[in-house]
């Protein structure tokens, strides 16, 4: 038990904070930037607002309780360590793991780097092959690419038109020296859910470690590391209404997964990730996990209803709309739609009161359209026409209705401005046209 702090050591009262703003505010003109009205937030796959309960849990550690959790010699340290360990338990509880299997990191990108590079390098004397998919997050793909320059071989499994991997292809991809399989649980662009149970079984039978990037899945759908035979898992704080800058990696103890640390230092986090654990952020992650566990069922039901509302309304009013990714095996809160004959960025500009994102090339720094949409076989022009709608814990029915109404209105308007729509209305087959090269 942590002894109470003597009165004279407590910090002065912090200055009064600005009034707390609820995560969502009504839409309106946002031209002045600093005004009271801000766009509706429908981009939860990119990031989420802090749940007020998470902020509450973090505040003491951002104000009076500022000790380093690794300071063993005084009450500031003990208090901070206790909070960190409580957070670790909260994360572990959400995924059915033991506290000792949770390592705090700076986010899912770091966790993915640790899992892939760490495991590959540890076992490199005997094992040189890794299997992953073409629709993984960039940090997974880039980690694999980096390992290829170190002499590893990587198989990037294709996905079917619905975004799911073919289990037979996975089985065929194993080689005698495969050390790791990495498949994300829920895709951040199109929302599809991979068959994690089945993949876990296949990997366990072949004694190959199974890593999953669960950043978009945990706290939203039930994930159990033992049930699903997961050996490593990446967790992100800011995708589950927790703070930015923190995440975690689950590393199985039985059977033991070894990994070569990326970050050297004082040996914190079982030597796997040196560096002072940022107590306020870890506390926030823990609280976010606990809140998510409580709210999961209710959130899922509500978000499913809102998602169905959005899809039904749009698709009944607007022709030639394609939903990208499997209709059934998906997380409902991530909806990726392609509006044929309308370019994505122009639609985002038109929907200026709503924060959304697109798979269009124009919205990416590299000017290349989304590789996830390309992997599921989407025609390039439809890839340019895609919009991702994110529905989350704080999304209201009014926000969905407003978004739907504006979307329908502006799709119609942009189609009236579109030469492709005009040609299609005139009965021309766009595939028969010889377009000018650029």
Binding site for another protein (CB under 8 A): 341-343, 345-346, 349-350, 352, 360-363, 365, 367, 369, 379-381, 384, 416-422, 430, 435-438
Q: Is the dihedral of CA 113, 118, 124, 128 positive or negative?
A: negative
Q: Which CB, 20 or 435, lies closer to another protein?
A: 435
Instruction: Report the C-alpha gap between 166 and 163 in whole angstroms.
Output: 10
In angstroms, give the least distance from the CB of 346 to another protein: 5
Q: Which CB, 98 or 345, lies closer to another protein?
A: 345
b/e burial code for range 99-125 (CB count within 10 A of at least 16 → b): eebbbbbbbbbbbbbbbbbbbbbebbe
In angstroms, give the least distance from the CB of 418 to another protein: 5
Out of 144, 289, 362, 407, the active site residue is: 362
In angstroms, give the least distance from the CB of 434 to another protein: 9
Nearest to 364 by CA among 384, 335, 342, 390: 384
Instruction: Report the C-alpha gap between 308 and 327 in whole angstroms.
Output: 11
Nearest to 130 by CA among 108, 152, 112: 152
Instruction: Report the C-alpha gap between 336 and 330 in whole angstroms.
Output: 11
Q: Which CB, 111 or 360, lies closer to another protein?
A: 360
Q: Which CB, 72 or 438, lies closer to another protein?
A: 438
Q: Which CB, 223 or 348, lies closer to another protein?
A: 348
Cite the beta strand spans of 64-183 per DSSP E. 102-105, 129-133, 153-157, 178-182
Q: Which CB, 216 or 378, lies closer to another protein?
A: 378
In angstroms, give the least distance from the CB of 272 to another protein: 33
Query: Is 251:209 a contact under the CB 8 Å cutoff?
Result: no
Burial class (CB in 10 A: 0-12, 13-18, 19+), 221: middle
In angstroms, give the least distance from the CB of 339 to another protein: 11
In angstroms, give the least distance from the CB of 368 to another protein: 10
Nearest to 392 by CA among 219, 186, 194, 222: 219
The question of whether 362 is a catalytic residue gets the answer: yes
Query: Is 77:66 a contact under the CB 8 Å cutoff?
Result: no
**Number of residues that this document lists for the chain:** 438
Q: What is the bridge-based pairing of β-strands 209-213 and 232-236?
A: parallel
The structure tokens listed for 183 are: 């498949």
b/e burial code for range 278-288 (CB count within 10 A of at least 16 → b): bbbbbbbbbbb
CA distances from 430 to 228, 253, 318, 340 (A): 46, 57, 20, 12
Q: Which CB, 133 or 358, lies closer to another protein?
A: 358
In angstroms, give the least distance from the CB of 148 to another protein: 29
Residues belonging to the active site = 362
């Amino acid at each position: 038990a942590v002894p109470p702090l003597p009165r004279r050591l407590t910090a002065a009262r912090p200055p009064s904070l600005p009034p707390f703003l609820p995560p969502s505010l009504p839409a309106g003109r946002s031209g002045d930037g600093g005004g009271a009205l801000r766009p509706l937030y429908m981009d939860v796959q990119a990031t989420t607002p802090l749940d007020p309960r998470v902020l509450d849990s973090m505040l003491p550690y951002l104000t009076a309780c500022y000790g380093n959790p690794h300071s063993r010699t005084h009450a500031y340290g003990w208090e901070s360590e206790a909070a960190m360990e409580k957070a670790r338990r909260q994360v572990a509880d959400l995924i059915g793991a033991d506290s000792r299997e949770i390592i705090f990191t700076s986010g899912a990108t770091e966790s993915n780097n640790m899992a892939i590079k760490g495991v590959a390098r540890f076992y490199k004397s005997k094992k040189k092959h890794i299997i992953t998919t073409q629709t993984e997050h960039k940090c997974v793909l880039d980690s694999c690419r980096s390992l290829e320059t170190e002499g590893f071989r990587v198989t990037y499994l294709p996905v079917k038109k619905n975004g799911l991997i073919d289990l037979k292809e996975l089985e065929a991809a194993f080689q005698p020296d495969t050390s790791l399989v990495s498949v994300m649980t829920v895709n951040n662009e199109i929302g599809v859910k991979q068959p994690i149970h089945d993949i876990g079984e296949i990997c366990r039978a072949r004694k190959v470690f199974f890593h999953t990037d669960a950043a978009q899945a945990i706290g939203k759908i039930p994930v159990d590391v033992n049930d699903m035979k997961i050996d490593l898992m990446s967790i992100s704080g800011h995708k589950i209404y927790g703070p930015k800058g923190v995440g975690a990696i689950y590393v199985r103890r039985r059977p033991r997964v070894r990994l070569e640390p990326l970050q050297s230092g004082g040996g914190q986090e079982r030597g796997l990730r040196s560096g002072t654990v940022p107590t306020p952020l870890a506390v926030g992650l823990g609280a976010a996990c606990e809140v998510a566990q409580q709210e999961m069922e209710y959130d899922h039901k509500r978000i499913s209803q809102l998602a169905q509302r959005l899809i039904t309304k749009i698709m009944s009013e607007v022709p030639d709309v394609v939903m990208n990714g499997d209709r059934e095996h998906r997380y409902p809160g991530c909806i990726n739609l392609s509006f044929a004959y309308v370019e994505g960025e122009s639609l985002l500009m038109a929907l200026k009161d709503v924060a959304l994102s697109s798979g269009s090339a124009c919205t990416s720094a590299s000017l290349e359209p989304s590789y996830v949409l390309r992997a599921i076989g989407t025609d390039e022009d439809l890839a340019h026409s895609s919009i991702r709608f994110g529905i989350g814990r704080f999304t209201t029915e009014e926000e969905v209705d407003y978004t739907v109404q504006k979307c329908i209105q502006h799709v119609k308007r942009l189609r009236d401005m579109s030469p492709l729509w005009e040609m299609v209305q005139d009965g021309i087959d766009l595939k028969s046209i010889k377009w000018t090269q650029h």
